[in-house]
Structure 1
Amino acid sequence: MEETISLKALFQILRKRLWLITLVTIIAAIISAVVSFFVITPVYQTSTQILVNQAKNEQQLYNVGAVQTNVQLISTYNDIIKSPAILDKVISSLSLEKSSELLSEQIQVASSENSQVAQIIVQDTDPKRATEIANTVATVFKKEVPKIMNIDNVSILSKADFATSKSPVKPQPILNIAIALVVGLMVGVGLSFLLEYLDNTIKTEQDIENILELPVMGVITNIKDVPKVTNVQRPDMTARVPQRGETFGS
């Protein structure tokens, strides 16, 4: 027989297990807050911009073909910026105790479509060090790219500013707690339905009808205990038996 459950029954299950849902949700939020504030190391982000642009001569003010060439070169520059040829010099200049592979993971090069401007984004656990890495990468790249590609068309458009990188970009405690609340709520609801599904005890007449598929003919109600009578005076069983010639009361 196919089992069906009504919407009212679902709400009754949730209401009965409301304490469990609330407890799981609160625990999830607390764990997320503790991890976000005290466990995960804050990461700071800063960025600098470089401009890829051919030098203009007096006879040519604007050349669409040159601009398109510069845009196509940006994707090549992205790989060069994160290569050991650039990052090894950055590590040496800043005396960083890490390899070029690890430093490359902290750097991201982004550019808008059909734009000659590339953005060097650096993330680090120290905001000052992140700023120094971003500016040094841009400077070293500008200096080394003419030797690598035999062209000189890179200029630094804006440098990374330490003041703009004082706020960590991750972790984001508020977002993490909000996600934990949603996840905790979902886990609490799922756990409530699981416990209800595993509970095969009979509690009501409706459970008997559903399990045995038989109508209930009668119900024995709970009989309260009869209160005990206390402080009842019992007759005196130790009265003296009258002797011969004596009368009661003498």
Structure 2
Amino acid sequence: MEETISLQELFATLKKRLGLIIGTTIVAAIIAAAISYFYLTPIYQASTQILVNQEQVEKQSFDSQDIQTNLQLINTYNVIIKTPAILSKVIENLDLDTTPAELSNQLTVNSEQNSQVVNLTVQDPESHKAVDIANTIAEVFQKEIVNLMQVDNVNILSPAVYVEDPKPVKPNKELNVAIAAVIGLMIGVGIAFLLEYLDTTVKTENDIEELLGLPVLGLVSPISRKDVNTATDAPQKGSSPHVKKAHI
């Protein structure tokens, strides 16, 4: 016999396990808040921009080949910035306790499409160190590119600056709590339906019909203890409530 579940039954299940659902949501949000505020290390970010100048040529216009050459030059610079040839000197200048590979993971280099501006973004647990690393990378790259590429066409456009009250870029504490609350809600709903599915006790006449496959002919109303006591204390027919039995 195929079983069907109506929306009324779904809402009844959710209402029945509402305390469980709310509890799992609150617990998940509290755990996420505790981890975000007390265990995760705040990460700060600093950015600087460098400008790659186009070579001066006598012709007045650029053809598509010139544009493609400039874009390839920008992409080449983006790769060179993250190489040990640049980052090793940065580590040496700042006396950092890290490796070029680890420092490369803290660095993000990108440029807008068809743009000569390259953005350098550094993330670090210390805000002032992120600023120092970003500016030092730009300065070292500006000097070393002369030896590496035999060109002097890099200028620092916008250096990173110190902020009095810096705000970490991650973790996003509010977002973590919100995501955890949603996950907790989903877990609570899942547990509620799982408990309802595993509950095989017979509660209603519909359960009996589904279990036995037979129609219910009648129901016996529940009798409370108060009704039983009232029926027991009631005087029997033909007897007087004032007559007492004599003791022999």
The RMSD of aligned alpha carbons is 2.4
Once the two structures are superposed, the pairs formed by residues 1-250 of structure 1 within 5 Å of their partners are 1-56=1-56, 63=62, 68-163=68-163, 166-225=166-225, 226=229
8 A contact 1:91–1:98 mirrored in 2: yes
Paired amino acid for 1:81: I
Q: After TM superposition, give the deviation of residue 144 of structure 1 in Å.
A: 0.3
- Give 5+ residue unaligned stretches, structure 2: 234-243
Distance 1:3 1:11, change over 3 A: same
Q: Distance in 2 between matches of 1:213 and 1:42?
A: 63
Q: Distance in 2 between matches of 1:52 and 1:165?
A: 32
Q: Distance in 2 between matches of 1:60 and 1:158?
A: 30
2:163 aligned counterpart, secondary structure: helix
Q: After TM superposition, give the deviation of residue 164 of structure 1 in Å.
A: 8.1
- Give me the TM-score of the superposition, normalised by structure 1: 0.86
Q: After TM superposition, give the deviation of residue 217 of structure 1 in Å.
A: 2.1
1:109-130 deviation per Cα after TM superposition (whole angstroms, max 9, x unaligned): 0111111100001000000000
Q: After TM superposition, give the deviation of residue 21 of structure 1 in Å.
A: 0.6
Q: After TM superposition, give the deviation of residue 72 of structure 1 in Å.
A: 1.8
- Give me the TM-score of the superposition, normalised by structure 2: 0.87
1:35-60 deviation per Cα after TM superposition (whole angstroms, max 9, x unaligned): 11111000011100011113547x56
Distance 1:22 1:175, change over 3 A: same
Paired amino acid for 2:5: I
Paired amino acid for 2:208: I
1:163-211 deviation per Cα after TM superposition (whole angstroms, max 9, x unaligned): 1881100001111111111111111111111111111111111111122
Larger radius of gyration: 1
The percentage of aligned residue pairs carrying the same residue is: 53
Q: Name whichever of 48-57 and 88-97 sits farther off.
A: 48-57
Paired amino acid for 2:87: L
2:5 aligned counterpart, secondary structure: coil
Q: Distance in 2 between matches of 1:56 and 1:164?
A: 41
Q: After TM superposition, give the deviation of residue 237 of structure 1 in Å.
A: 6.0
Paired amino acid for 2:18: L
8 A contact 1:67–1:116 mirrored in 2: no
Equivalent residue for 1:242?
none
Q: Name whichever of 82-91 and 146-155 sits farther off.
A: 146-155
8 A contact 1:109–1:118 mirrored in 2: yes
Q: Distance in 1 between matches of 2:28 and 2:83?
A: 42
Q: Distance in 1 between matches of 2:67 and 2:160?
A: 25
8 A contact 1:46–1:164 mirrored in 2: no
Distance 1:66 1:165, change over 3 A: farther
Q: After TM superposition, give the deviation of residue 148 of structure 1 in Å.
A: 0.9
